[in-house]
C-alpha cells in the first residue's frame, strides 16, 4: 500500500510493521489516522519508536481504535483505571503473558486489541512475539479446516487471584470484585472489518472443546497452537524505551519472552515496566 503521511516498514513477511513519521503525543489528523488504521489491518500489529507519552496521551491514542476498558483482575494505575502497569522485577524470571495467548478470551466479548507502551526495558531480552492467526487458518489442510470450522471452545479465566499474584510488582485487584469468567467461542472466526477468517484459540484459557472431553481436546489444541506459532507465521519485536505496540486481538496471538536468565540463576536480572491499554470489543476499527 502507498502511504503519504506515514512511513510503514514491515518487520516480517507474516505480520508486523514499524510506523515512522508520527508523534502519538499529539492529536492525529484524519489522514494520518486513516493510514495508521490501514497499516494496522494490513500488518495486524504495528510498532512506534521514540514516543514519549503520558497516561492521558496513551489512552487518547488507544481510543482512536475504539473504547478502552479496564483489565478485570488487575488494578489500573492511579487515576487511570483502564491503564494497567505490567511489571517484572529484577529478581523475577517470568514476564506476565509469557504463554502464547489472545487477551481475555474468557470474556463473552473479548477485547479487540491492546496498546502496550514501554516505560522501562532490559538492555536485552524481554522481546514480544506475535503470530498471524489468519495464516494459521489459511495454511491448515482443507480437511483440518473443515474440522475446526465445526468446533467451539470453552474459555475459562480460572481463579482470578492467579492472574497477577505471581508478580510482586503488579497491583492485583481485590478478590471481592474479581469474579471468575467463562465463555464459549468458535474456533474459527471472521474478522468484522477485513472479512478474513482466522483461528481463535488461547492455550492458557481454552480448556475444552464443546462436546469433547478435556483429554480429547488437548492433543488437537496443542497441535493447532504449534501450527499457528511456527516461526514463519510470527514476528518478533525488540523493545526500546518509549516504544509502542498495537495489536489486533481478533486475529493475532502474542507472548512475552521469558529469557531473563540472570534473574533465574542469580536473582539479579532486569526490571521491565509497561503500560497497557485494552481496546474494548465494540471497537469499530
Mean pLDDT of 115-137: 97
Residues 6+ apart with CB under 8 A from 252: 15, 44, 45, 102, 130, 131, 132, 133
* Range 141-148 contact pairs with CB under 8 angstroms and sequence separation of 24 or more: 145/188, 148/187, 148/188, 148/199, 148/224
Confidence (pTM): 0.96
The C-alpha atoms of residue 121 and residue 107 are separated, in whole angstroms, by 30
Mean pLDDT of 3-7: 95
Residues tagged active-site: 101, 103, 254, 276
Mean pLDDT of 173-180: 67
Is the per-residue pLDDT at 140 higher than 90? yes
Q: Cβ of 267: how many Cβ atoms within 10 Å?
A: 11
Question: What average pLDDT does the structure give for the chain?
Answer: 94
Helix and strand numbers (H, E) in the chain are 6, 16
Give me the domains of the chain, ranges plus CATH numbers.
Answer: 7-279 (3.60.130.10)
Amino acid at each position: 500500500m502507498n502511504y503519504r503521511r506515514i512511513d510503514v516498514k514491515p518487520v516480517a513477511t507474516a505480520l508486523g510493521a514499524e510506523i515512522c513519521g508520527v508523534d502519538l503525543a499529539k492529536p492525529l489528523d484524519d489522514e494520518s489516522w486513516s493510514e495508521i488504521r490501514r497499516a494496522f489491518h494490513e500488518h495486524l500489529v504495528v510498532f512506534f519508536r521514540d514516543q514519549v507519552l503520558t497516561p492521558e496521551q496513551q489512552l487518547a491514542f488507544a481510543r482512536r481504535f475504539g473504547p478502552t476498558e479496564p483489565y478485570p483482575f488487575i488494578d489500573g494505575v492511579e487515576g487511570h483505571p483502564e491503564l494497567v502497569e505490567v511489571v517484572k522485577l529484577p529478581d523475577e524470571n517470568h514476564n506476565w503473558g509469557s504463554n502464547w495467548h489472545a487477551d481475555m478470551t474468557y470474556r463473552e466479548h473479548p477485547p479487540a486489541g491492546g496498546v502496550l507502551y514501554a516505560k522501562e526495558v532490559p538492555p536485552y531480552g524481554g522481546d514480544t512475539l506475535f503470530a498471524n492467526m489468519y495464516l494459521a487458518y489459511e495454511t491448515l489442510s482443507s480437511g483440518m479446516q473443515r474440522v475446526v470450522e465445526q468446533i467451539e471452545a470453552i474459555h475459562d479465566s480460572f481463579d482470578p487471584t492467579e492472574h497477577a499474584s505471581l508478580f510482586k510488582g503488579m497491583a492485583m485487584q481485590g478478590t471481592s470484585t474479581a469474579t471468575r469468567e467463562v465463555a464459549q467461542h468458535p474456533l474459527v472466526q471472521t474478522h468484522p472489518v477485513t472479512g478474513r477468517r482466522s483461528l481463535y484459540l488461547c492455550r492458557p484459557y481454552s480448556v475444552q472443546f464443546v462436546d469433547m472431553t478435556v483429554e480429547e481436546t488437548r492433543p488437537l489444541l496443542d497441535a493447532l497452537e504449534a501450527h499457528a506459532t511456527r516461526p514463519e507465521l510470527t514476528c518478533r519485536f525488540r523493545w526500546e524505551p518509549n516504544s509502542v505496540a498495537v495489536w489486533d486481538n481478533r486475529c493475532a496471538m502474542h507472548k512475552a519472552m521469558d529469557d531473563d536468565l540472570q534473574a533465574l540463576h542469580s536473582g539479579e536480572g532486569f526490571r521491565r515496566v509497561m503500560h497497557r491499554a485494552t481496546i474494548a470489543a465494540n471497537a469499530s476499527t
